[in-house]
Amino acid sequence: MKEIKILSGTNCQNCELLYQVVSEIVKRKGIDAKVEKVVDIQEVLKYGVMTTPVLVVDGEVKHVGTPIPAPQKIEELIGG
């Protein structure tokens, strides 16, 4: 099972959007994955990034910052 994390800032609209798009793709494609949103700042900083949102798949940073990629691109990044 894949572990997908969306690292988010507080009060960050794009982070919320990315989380929803990823969740929807996982559901629609039936990908075997756990999608989790991480808002805890100390947890976020462990990945060495300061720009949100961050897409992490199985511990690997796949995308950082805005604009968030198109859904097809996100699908590719998740590897569904």
Q: Which of residues 40-79 bind other proteins (CB under 8 A)?
A: 41-42, 44-52, 60-61, 64-67, 69-70
- Residue 28 CB, shortest distance to other proteins, in Å, is 22
Closest CA to 10 of 39, 43, 50: 39
- Please identify, using beta-carbon distances, which residue of 14 and 23 lies nearer to other proteins: 14
3-state secondary structure of 35: strand
Span between the terminal Cα atoms of the chain, in Å: 11
* Interface contacts to other proteins, rule CB under 8 A: 8-15, 41-42, 44-52, 60-61, 64-67, 69-70
